[in-house]
Structure 1
Amino acid sequence: MALSSIVNSWTEWAPLEFICVGTAEGMCCPDETPSYPWHTGPPNLCSYIRAISGPRPRRRIEQAQAQLDNLAELLRAESIVVASSIDEIFDEDVRQVLTRKRTSLEKSSQTNTNDKTIQKNKIDVCRPVSSSQEELCFNHQLATPHFKSQYQFGLACPRDILITLGDTVVEAPTSAHIRYFESEYYKPLLYSLWRCDPNMKWLQPPKPTCSSIKMFNDVDYWEKINTKDFNKSIFANSGYKTNLNENEIAFDAADIVRMGKDVFYKKSASANNQGLYWLRRTFPNLRFHMMHFPTDGSYHLDTSLIPLRPPTSGSHGLVLLNQNYPPLASEMKLFTDNDWRSIWAPLHSTGEVPPLALCTGNLNANILSLNDHCVVIEECETPMYRLLHDELGFDVITCPLRVLNEFGGGIHCVTWDIRRQDSCSDYFPNQNYDSECQLDLNNYFDRKIFSNHDEDTS
């Protein structure tokens, strides 16, 4: 990475240097959307829950915000500077800041002879803030030629809306109308990055209409179908079709996981094939791989495929898989052919979620890597702690964030990494990408699920 660069992130595991943490201020219970089911509470309450929309209770917002603030404090304890805008962080010359950081790390590595001493890198943290003096609020009506919405979502989960691909920030073309303008609230931060980093690129795919008629097969789809039935049988049997059609480009940033030159993309309720095609055409020097999960047609990839560290000359690469949502055996062959070891994440410690939760309990694998040997997980996930710390030897930092399940995410969801000590390395040299790109994804019926046996015999 050139010393003048700020935006630089190619993987999920390289040493973290600059990250954005979301905010719960002003968040609302959203309107219904045909994109995907919002509420994951008890089925007998669904009809009542769907009738609830508008500002969330102040007490719950305060609890969620306290947990996000605690995450920022936790990062500050890891030698982190917390600021409300990057102008505060980079008021010094960027070249001097990054040079000083690297010099201190080099000196530490040369003089430190105690193997038990952990050297903490400096990580900068920013938070989305209102561009005016008014508090953030999302309880005002939106209207475009294609839809009307009484409420917006909020800014708790920047990972859904923004992604860094190398030196490029991409604003995701979300299909959820209540998030149509969400990236606008990050424009002050994005313009600060633009002014400070002459190498930054900034892209937005064609803005989707979010029209319930143009983009979706059935406006009332999620009222007619049980999400468990959809995941277990309908999704794979239909050729991985969801209510989201292929008329427009659509994906959330959290449908993407970055692993250097190779980027993985989940076919889901929020990401269609057109989104993958746009990424392949826009970033021809990267390789984008479609991932299908036969028992999971819900949204986002960062609870199902979690890379921990890459292969080295002395060890396998490690990637976590969600045992509730196993991937296809054919698509995991890329990992086994390139010295990646697949590890099944333990079941979550509790499946209980609040009635108005926007997420299921399957967020235990939604973790944030500070580097390839240190991760942050939710504090109640003791089975995950035992796996990562006791069995795999990771430094594990625990953080309370359970309230944020109600607001749409886990630790990975509520962050967006902007800079890591990273490069566009090739961790999957053994592959036939041209052949993969010829697959007809609109008629795809492979349903053989990956298992430990597939890895052992590869």
Structure 2
Amino acid sequence: MSLVDVHNEWDPLEEVIVGTAVDALVPKADRSMMVIEFSDYDSPDDVPVGPYDQRVLEETENDLETFATELRKAGVTVRRPMPRDHSVMAGTPDWQTDSFCDYCPRDGFLAIGDTIIETPMPLRSRFFEYLAYKDLFLEYFRSGARWISAPKPRLNDAMYRPEAPAGQRLENLEPCFDAANVIRIGTDLLYLVSDSGNELGAQWLQSAVGDRYTVTPVRDVYAYTHIDTTFVPLRPGLVMVNSSRVTKENMPEPLRGWDHIYAPAPVDTGYVGPRANGSLWVGMNMLSISPDLVAVDKRQVGLIRELERHRIDVIPVQLTHSRALGGGFHCVTLDVRRRGTLETYR
């Protein structure tokens, strides 16, 4: 039996990969970084590259292990990536870079049904991130899972326009997207068109998953990067949405008939270092354990009250440096098995 079997964001969770912050660094400020991570900087020379503060990494690793322990208590199998040396320079004939970190497995890998998909990420510094997960993916493959990779993008300079407005900085020259641009709602896959996912990426994903699924491009909602601080499907018919981005007019068609919880303004949890890598809205980034249980940052008291008002219980945990590292509980996980079947929820 395949160890990979997942159809949506909320069915009872059985197995998950939790990332790591060990030896994370801010990689070389190349053209791809200036589009996706540092668009607020005028010059690559101004970007604070290099290792993160060691205290931040140690505290984050402790937070991740506490989170993993809570998941195990809930009956979930937890897996972790292999360690890597992020300072090693690697590249292609077009570019060279060091690497980011393995904190957010959600960004590079997409589990749909019994398939693991390695997505064609736009950041050069994440080109080789699959190496941290390869042993796990081999194990899943041997268990009967499908394992495919999108065509590796060239990522040459023509792919990026750092000077363009948000949402227009990633060119449409080849399929290119982060897995975190996608959320699964049974046979519907919502795909955020943004600076971390272009139109050709949506087309490639549709070709990869076939006619059983419908990939719906989500446009003009959030221009910068990922979808999971904008829409959080909680159970069939109920979705939490970002109250600063989502309106009735730009609500994706598959969610229009659902009940909508407009997330309250998040608590500013602060950050260490010269800048935040994640917005305030990383506070609504949560992981569903089941349709009535989610893992949420315990500092987001208004959000927790709103969830409990809709009869959803909370595991209160914390990622102290979620804004500094740019990832909440959905970001730092990759759910590979949930107990449920493929359904249509329109």
Instruction: Please give the TM-score of this superposition, normalised by the length of structure 2.
Output: 0.93
Q: CA deviation at 1:156?
A: 0.3
Task: Give the SS at the match of 1:329.
Answer: coil
1:184 to 131, 137, 148: 131
Letter in 2 for 1:297: A
Deviations 1:134-176 (A, max 9, x none): xx32012122111111x20010000001110101000010010
Q: CA deviation at 1:280?
A: 1.2
Letter in 1 for 2:15: F
Matched, 1:332 2:252: yes
Letter in 1 for 2:218: M
Q: CA deviation at 1:276?
A: 0.6
Aligned to 1:343: 261
Q: In structure 1, what is the Cα distance between the partners aligned to 2:259 and 2:118?
A: 32
Deviations 1:320-342 (A, max 9, x none): 110121156265343234xx111
Aligned to 1:174: 121
Q: In structure 1, what is the Cα distance between the partners aligned to 2:253 and 2:338?
A: 28
Task: Give the SS at the match of 2:328.
Answer: coil
Task: Give the SS at the match of 1:363.
Answer: helix
Aligned to 1:19: 16
Task: Kindly indicate whether the alpha-carbon contact (under 8 Å) linking 1:20 and 1:417 is maintained by their aligned counterparts in 2.
Answer: yes
Aligned to 2:70: 74
Q: CA deviation at 1:277?
A: 0.5
Aligned to 1:145: 93
Letter in 2 for 1:137: D
Matched, 1:306 2:232: yes
Task: Kindly indicate whether the alpha-carbon contact (under 8 Å) linking 1:177 and 1:210 is maintained by their aligned counterparts in 2.
Answer: yes
Q: CA deviation at 1:66?
A: 1.1
Deviations 1:14-47 (A, max 9, x none): 000000000001111122244434259xx7x986
Deviates more, 1:378-387 or 1:30-39: 30-39
1:374 to 271, 275, 293: 293
Q: CA deviation at 1:202?
A: 0.7
Aligned to 1:127: 80
Matched, 1:52 2:48: yes
Q: Mark the CA change 1:77 to 1:330 in structure 2 (over 3 Å): closer, same or farther.
A: closer
Equivalent residues, number:
342
Percent identical pairs in the alignment equals: 30
Q: CA deviation at 1:64?
A: 1.3
Deviations 1:394-446 (A, max 9, x none): 11111111313212211100000010002110112xxxxxxxxxxxxxxxxxx
Aligned to 1:267: 193
CA RMSD of aligned residues (A): 2.0
Task: Kindly indicate whether the alpha-carbon contact (under 8 Å) linking 1:353 and 1:361 is maintained by their aligned counterparts in 2.
Answer: no
Letter in 2 for 1:427: Y
Q: In structure 2, what is the Cα distance between the partners aligned to 1:50 and 1:409?
A: 23
1:279 to 205, 209, 226: 205
1:31 to 28, 42, 52: 28
Q: In structure 2, what is the Cα distance between the partners aligned to 1:46 and 1:34?
A: 12
Deviations 1:200-222 (A, max 9, x none): 11111100012122x12x3xx2x
After superposition, residues 366-445 of structure 1 pair within 5 angstroms as 366-389=285-308, 391-428=309-346
Task: Give the SS at the match of 2:281.
Answer: coil
Task: Kindly indicate whether the alpha-carbon contact (under 8 Å) linking 1:32 and 1:38 is maintained by their aligned counterparts in 2.
Answer: no
Q: Mark the CA change 1:406 to 1:46 in structure 2 (over 3 Å): closer, same or farther.
A: farther
Letter in 1 for 2:227: L
Matched, 1:205 2:132: no
Q: CA deviation at 1:58?
A: 1.8
Task: Kindly indicate whether the alpha-carbon contact (under 8 Å) linking 1:350 and 1:361 is maintained by their aligned counterparts in 2.
Answer: yes
Aligned to 1:114: none
Task: Give the SS at the match of 2:324.
Answer: helix
Q: In structure 2, what is the Cα distance between the partners aligned to 1:379 and 1:48?
A: 36
Matched, 1:165 2:103: no
Q: In structure 2, what is the Cα distance between the partners aligned to 1:125 and 1:193?
A: 14
Q: Mark the CA change 1:370 to 1:76 in structure 2 (over 3 Å): closer, same or farther.
A: same
Task: Kindly indicate whether the alpha-carbon contact (under 8 Å) linking 2:25 and 2:100 is maintained by their aligned counterparts in 1.
Answer: yes
Instruction: Please give the TM-score of this superposition, normalised by the length of structure 1.
Output: 0.71
Q: Mark the CA change 1:334 to 1:76 in structure 2 (over 3 Å): closer, same or farther.
A: closer
Letter in 2 for 1:420: R
Matched, 1:288 2:215: yes
Q: In structure 2, what is the Cα distance between the partners aligned to 1:341 and 1:424?
A: 21
Q: In structure 1, what is the Cα distance between the partners aligned to 2:234 and 2:147?
A: 27
Aligned to 2:242: 322
Task: Kindly indicate whether the alpha-carbon contact (under 8 Å) linking 1:25 and 1:137 is maintained by their aligned counterparts in 2.
Answer: no
Matched, 1:358 2:306: no
Would you identify which runs of 4 or more consecutive aligned residues in structure 1 move more than 6 Å? 45-49
Unaligned runs of 5+ in 2: none
Q: State the structure with more CA Rg.
A: 1
After superposition, residues 98-109 of structure 1 pair within 5 angstroms as none
Q: Mark the CA change 1:357 to 1:190 in structure 2 (over 3 Å): closer, same or farther.
A: same
Aligned to 1:101: none
